[in-house]
């Protein structure tokens, strides 16, 4: 099964609040975003946003330029249904982050919780960072969360990579400054605790 088929199957066979990465409140992501781009007119993309509550919370916080990208059409349809009429205030992109069309320097902030750690091949990770460099404006920010070094080795039946703040920063390179990092002990709907690491990077000006 290809990547899109895998995630469509997940979202068509499980309720949004049953998947292991479900968060009723994306508190740490939202806190980092509000610190990195306090201007409510900032352009924000949530990569792998799926059925996350982050788009809801960004709109409630006053942000007016929100994009959600996910490889799964099924996930995005669930999110749009949940938001109802408010869904029209979000730009939705169904596609793989490595190939989906994204505007050049189109975003002030790139958010990713739990996509990057699925990229276990060097070429995929390099391609991902190149997409960030393409889509993010100079001085733009990245808020990214992956499994920590003591986190799971697999998720949703797939192998994952694990990171510390330093090794995650190394993947992005010297063009990005590490501003902050934090660990989170995420408790899944099944009651399992998973260790995440969050990093905030600032892209260097050109």
* Tokens describing residue 67: 């994009």
Number of domains present in the structure of the chain: 1
Q: What is the pLDDT of residue 206?
A: 63
Residue 133 has pLDDT above 90, yes or no: yes
Q: Give pTM, 2 decimals.
A: 0.96
Q: What is the DSSP string of 112-162?
A: EESSGGG--SHHHHHHHHHHHHHHEEEEEEEEEEEEBTTS-SEETTEE---
Q: What is the pLDDT of residue 1?
A: 60
Residue 196 has pLDDT above 80, yes or no: yes
- Is beta strand 65-70 parallel, antiparallel or unpaired with respect to 90-94? parallel
> At CA 71, angle to CA 69 and CA 75, rounded to 5?
80
Q: What is the pLDDT of residue 8?
A: 85
Mean pLDDT across 117-132: 97
Q: What is the pLDDT of residue 3?
A: 87
**Whole-number Å distance between alpha carbons of 5 and 130:** 25
| Percent of the chain residues topping a pLDDT of 90 | 93
Q: Which residues have CB under 8 Å from 67's CB, separation 6+?
A: 43, 44, 45, 46, 90, 91, 92, 93, 107
* Tokens describing residue 105: 């320097």
The CATH number covering residue 15 comes to 3.40.50.150
Residue range of the domain that includes 64 = 3-203
């Amino acid at each position: 099964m290809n990547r899109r088929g895998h995630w469509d199957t997940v979202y068509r066979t499980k309720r949004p609040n049953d998947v292991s990465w479900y968060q009723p409140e994306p508190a740490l992501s939202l806190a980092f975003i509000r610190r990195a781009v306090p201007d409510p007119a900032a352009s924000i993309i949530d990569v792998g946003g799926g059925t996350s509550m982050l788009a809801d919370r960004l709109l409630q916080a006053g942000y007016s330029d929100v994009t959600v990208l996910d490889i799964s059409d099924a996930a995005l349809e669930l999110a749009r249904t949940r938001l109802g009429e408010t869904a029209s205030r979000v730009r939705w992109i169904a596609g793989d982050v490595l190939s989906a069309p994204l505007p050049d320097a189109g975003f002030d902030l790139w958010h990713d919780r739990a996509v990057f750690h699925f990229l276990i091949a060097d070429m995929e990770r390099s391609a991902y960072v190149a997409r960030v460099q393409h889509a993010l404006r100079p001085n733009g920010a990245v808020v990214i969360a992956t499994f920590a070094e003591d986190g799971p080795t697999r998720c949703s039946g797939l192998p994952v990579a694990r990171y510390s703040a330093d090794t995650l920063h190394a993947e992005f390179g010297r063009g990005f400054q590490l501003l902050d990092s934090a660990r989170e002990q995420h408790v899944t709907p099944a009651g399992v605790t998973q260790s995440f690491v969050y990093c905030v990077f600032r892209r260097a000006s050109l």
